[in-house]
A and B are shown apart, each in its own frame.
Chain A
Amino acid sequence: MPVAEAVAVGQELPSLAKELTQRRIDVYSGVRPRSIHTDEEWARQKGFRTTLAQGMMSTAYVSEMMTRLLGAGFVRGGRLSMAFIKPVYAGDRLTVHGVVKETRPEGAGTRVVVEVWCQNQHGEKTAVGTASGLRA
């Protein structure tokens, strides 16, 4: 899979769209009782309207976006920091966004720093953070 040919500060990365089906959440988290991710009744008892996706799924989506941008320079040398600011529910549709905010020399290459966020189908941000990786 080719990586991006050019990277510039201010560049908007191609967004990703992800459907958070219960089946994918089940596989990600492992089905068990008394889990807010896979037990709908338990999630309601804990104050949520239905089951929630793990926040970690959003980090996987950002990781995918960064690997598309930087390839091996994210798989080895990548960094990712995210805060989960709103629950993501089963049935939600997320879009994953990134904008290059900095490039700086590191070793023999360049570290590319990207502001990243996930947004639900209502336009609400659910996770925000920063990701970076190395470009040869």
Chain B
Amino acid sequence: MTSFPKLTYELLTVGEEFVSDTHLVTPEDIEAYAFAVDDHHPWFSGPSPFGGPVAHPTLMANQALSLRHGKYIVHAGLHAKMEFNFLEPVRPGTRVRSRGRVIDKYERRGRQYMVTEYVTEDEGGTPLVRGQFTQMLIPEGTRHAGR
């Protein structure tokens, strides 16, 4: 049984690891993502140079970004930076999983940040996307002054 403490800057540890559940990438996922970002490239549903349909390269980014939700209750946060290395296309029918590790946390101008490196892999362990992201924590009971 997993317990879910509230995520705080103090509780977060550099070096701690996260892992997502496995997700089966479906044609519906790819279609919904195409709608969301208003990009209907023909490779998403038809032939491509990779031998069949492939997903938008950033399709699984939210799986990585949500890794901390598998361990903590996250009050609120903002995404500050994102890096991707697209290693292999994500194809429908693939089961993918993301793993992450906190590599830094810091405070700047009164705000708290965490940095996570991640990899999204297929069921055989082949890395599809690697990268890292920086997220701002908005502590409970506080407001973020919209910039």
Residues of A within 8 A of B (CB): 1, 18-19, 24-25, 27-29, 34, 36, 42, 45-49, 54-57, 59-61, 63-64, 67, 71-72, 74-87
B102 within 8 A of A: no
B5 to chain A, nearest CB (A): 17
Complex alpha-carbon distance, A57 and B65, angstroms: 12
The reply to whether B37 and A28 form a contact with Cβ atoms under 8 Å apart is yes
B76, B78, B82: which has the most chain A beta carbons within 10 Å?
B82
Q: Could you say which residues of chain A place their CB within 8 Å of the CB of B145?
A: 47
The reply to whether A76 and B83 form a contact with Cβ atoms under 8 Å apart is no
B35, B48, B76, B146: which has the most chain A beta carbons within 10 Å?
B146
Kindly supply a per-residue 1/0 record for chain B positions 2-33, scoring 1 wherever the CB is within 8 Å of any chain A CB and 0 otherwise.
00000000000000000000000000000011
Q: Could you say which residues of chain B place their CB within 8 Å of the CB of A57?
A: 36-37
Among B38-46, B92-100, B104-112, B117-125, which stretch is in contact with chain A? B38-46
Main secondary structure of the interface of A (DSSP, over half): mixed
Output the nearest chain B residue to A80 by Cβ-Cβ distance.
B84
Q: How many contacts A-B (CB < 8 Å)? A: 123
Q: Could you say which residues of chain A place their CB within 8 Å of the CB of B35?
A: 24, 27
Interface size class of B (residues with CB under 8 A): 35 or more
Q: Could you say which residues of chain A place their CB within 8 Å of the CB of B49?
A: 71-72
B54 within 8 A of A: yes
Complex alpha-carbon distance, A25 and B62, angstroms: 13
Q: Could you say which residues of chain B place their CB within 8 Å of the CB of A80?
A: 82-84, 86
Output the nearest chain A residue to B88 by Cβ-Cβ distance.
A76
- Given A56-B62, A75-B89, A82-B82, are A1 and B41 also a contact pair (CB < 8 Å)? yes
Complex alpha-carbon distance, A18 and B39, angstroms: 10
A127 to chain B, nearest CB (A): 9
Q: Could you say which residues of chain B place their CB within 8 Å of the CB of A48?
A: 144, 146
Complex alpha-carbon distance, A1 and B48, angstroms: 9
Q: Beyond A28-B37, A74-B86: 13 further Cβ-contacts under 8 Å? A: A49-B146, A59-B84, A60-B36, A60-B39, A64-B37, A75-B86, A76-B88, A77-B86, A80-B84, A80-B86, A83-B81, A84-B78, A84-B80
The reply to whether B144 and A47 form a contact with Cβ atoms under 8 Å apart is yes
Q: Which of B37, B41, B86 contacts A24 (CB 8 A)?
A: B37
